[in-house]
Amino acid sequence: MAAFLLLKSNISAPLQKKNYSKILLTNYCHNSVINLYQIKQTIMNANAKVLDSQQLLIHWQGHRNLTRRVIEAFPEKDLFEFSIGGMRPFSKLALELIAIGGPALKSIVEGTINKFDETFNPTTKDELLAKWDEETETINEYFSQITEERFQETFNLFGQYEFPVYQNILYFVDNEIHHRGQGYVYLRALGIEPPFFWERER
Amino acid sequence: MAAFLLLKSNISAPLQKKNYSKILLTNYCHNSVINLYQIKQTIMNANAKVLDSQQLLIHWQGHRNLTRRVIEAFPEKDLFEFSIGGMRPFSKLALELIAIGGPALKSIVEGTINKFDETFNPTTKDELLAKWDEETETINEYFSQITEERFQETFNLFGQYEFPVYQNILYFVDNEIHHRGQGYVYLRALGIEPPFFWERER
């Protein structure tokens, strides 16, 4: 009970944080003796800074370098046409990513709520890659303007995804990895060796 | 030049940080007037805390809930046998994830260098899911013992991946999203609707 009160007083309201206090409690309830010092230490660790803004930007741009390499690996025709199980061709998946990263960051920094816009519709790989590189610069420009407070503030992205900014940004990266993973299967099905997953340098 | 010195004095040695200072400089060199206040602000933002340990744990376990749902979505036989383009069946991809998360965290916390061990070889979906849930608890238990300093320290994971702890952990999550994305294509190719990517609750 003391443990529960301590957790309650240290962990604030949002649903997800409640889940975490459940996680912590579950761990400690396995022990017959509740060690308050250890619980306090765990809560201090729970609030520990994991990484900073520049590290996350480097991480994301590393993933974007790899995704660019996956776009390049597709033969021109297959990039726009090849598909499995009724899914979108890889060009469409890449265009979704282009429509998210730069525009979303600009929107977050400027505090303007813009609609999600997927109208850019290139017909060549070069055109797609040129836009990809343009967005690389946009992301660098706006990412570095996000202050520490902003990462924890909620933002109604594209007028429909109201989450803390850090969750929105993690979602951009995760969504990119998810779709790129699908691109790896397309490449394998086409008999093409995809780039190494751990290669992140431009 | 003043901008370069300021950047040099604020951003420390590692290669990746150097890349970031290049990113920053490139942005500012586009402008004819270098605004020192703005550069200082950007560097302060660059060191901004993005998220804390408990938020990353919740994020990861959310992804693990989704991966569990993808395992469940496979018919028993296809989980162990279906494949595209010579890739591993989804059971093997899930077993790779099982061999990483819990064992890696335990190793990081205890400071012991263990070899990567993929010998666990279940033959049923239930057996695989039971191990998955066991590792969920292991991850909760050890994650909360990582202190703030540790996230930035390097660790020679499995005796072969020497990176800062935060990068190792991001790699576990990214690798899971990557392989699960491949699982989505398998499911679509089998005519099965995968779970929603944004569904992260257990």
Q: What is the pLDDT of residue A30?
A: 53
Interacting residues of A189 by C-beta distance below 8 A, sequence separation 6+: A82, A84, B84, B85
Evaluate if residue B80 carries a pLDDT over 90: yes
Q: Which residue of B has its CA nearest to A140?
A: B23
Name A164's bridge partners: A154
Instruction: Return the percentage of chain B with pLDDT > 90, whole number.
Output: 75
Taking Cα atoms as reference points, which of A51, A54, A71 lies closest to residue A139?
Answer: A54
Interacting residues of B201 by C-beta distance below 8 A, sequence separation 6+: B62, B65
Contacts of B145 in chain A (CB under 8 A): 42, 45
- Assess contact for B73 and B85: CB atoms under 8 A: no
Which residue carries 């340098």 as its tokens?
Answer: A201
- Assess contact for A17 and A47: CB atoms under 8 A: no
- Assess contact for A87 and A182: CB atoms under 8 A: yes
A38 touches chain B (CB under 8 A): no
Which residue carries 């900073």 as its tokens?
Answer: A52
Q: How confident is the model at residue B43 (pLDDT cuts 50, 70, 90)?
A: confident
Report residue B116 as tokens.
Answer: 């990567």
Which residue carries 């776009």 as its tokens?
Answer: A71
Report residue A46 as tokens.
Answer: 């729970």
Q: Please answer yes or no on whether B53 and A42 come within 8 Å at the CB atom.
A: no
Tell me the nearest-neighbour CA distance from B116 into chain A, angstroms.
Answer: 17
The predicted complex's ipTM stands at: 0.86
Distance separating alpha carbons of residues B133 and B160, to the nearest angstrom: 27
Q: What is the pLDDT of residue B39?
A: 77
Taking Cα atoms as reference points, which of A175, A91, A177, A84 lies closest to residue B84?
Answer: A84
Q: What is the pLDDT of residue B30?
A: 53
Evaluate if residue A109 carries a pLDDT over 50: yes
Contacts of B170 in chain A (CB under 8 A): 51, 59
Distance separating alpha carbons of residues B72 and B192, to the nearest angstrom: 12
Taking Cα atoms as reference points, which of A121, A178, A35, A170 lies closest to residue B181?
Answer: A178
Which residue carries 């392989």 as its tokens?
Answer: B179
Taking Cα atoms as reference points, which of A73, A45, A46, A64 lies closest to residue A138?
Answer: A64
Taking Cα atoms as reference points, which of B70, B169, B86 lies closest to residue A55?
Answer: B169
User: What single letter denotes the amino acid at residue B124?
Assistant: T
Concatenated DSSP letters for B107-168? HHHHT-----------SSHHHHHHHHHHHHHHHHHHHTT--HHHHHSEEEETTTEEEEHHHH
Q: How confident is the model at residue B2 (pLDDT cuts 50, 70, 90)?
A: very low
Distance separating alpha carbons of residues B176 and A59, to the nearest angstrom: 16
Distance separating alpha carbons of residues B143 and B107, to the nearest angstrom: 11
Which residue would you say has higher pLDDT here, A144 or B26? A144
Q: What is the pLDDT of residue B57?
A: 97
Q: How confident is the model at residue A9 (pLDDT cuts 50, 70, 90)?
A: very low
Contacts of B16 in chain A (CB under 8 A): 55, 58
**Max CA-CA distance within chain B?**
66
Report residue A136 as tokens.
Answer: 């690389």
Q: Please answer yes or no on whether A140 and B26 come within 8 Å at the CB atom.
A: yes
pLDDT tens per residue, range A44-100 = 888 999 999 999 999 999 999 999 999 999 999 999 999 999 999 999 999 999 999
pLDDT tens per residue, range A129-170 = 999 999 999 999 999 999 999 999 999 999 999 999 999 999
Evaluate if residue A5 carries a pLDDT over 60: no
> Within the 96-115 window of chain A, which residues sit less than 8 Å (CB to CB) from chain B?
none
Residue B183, burial from CB neighbour count under 10 angstroms (0-12, 13-18, 19+): buried
pLDDT tens per residue, range B125-152 = 999 999 999 999 999 999 999 999 999 9
Mutate to test the interface with A, among B54, B61, B134 (most CBs of A within 10 A): B54
Q: Which residue of A has its CA nearest to B12?
A: A54
Q: What b/e readout covers A161-189, taking b as 16+ CB neighbours within 10 angstroms? A: eeebbbbbbbbbbbbbbbbbbbbbbbbbb
Q: How confident is the model at residue A42 (pLDDT cuts 50, 70, 90)?
A: confident
Distance separating alpha carbons of residues A170 and B59, to the nearest angstrom: 9
Three-state DSSP state, B14 = coil
Element (H, E) at A185: helix A165-189
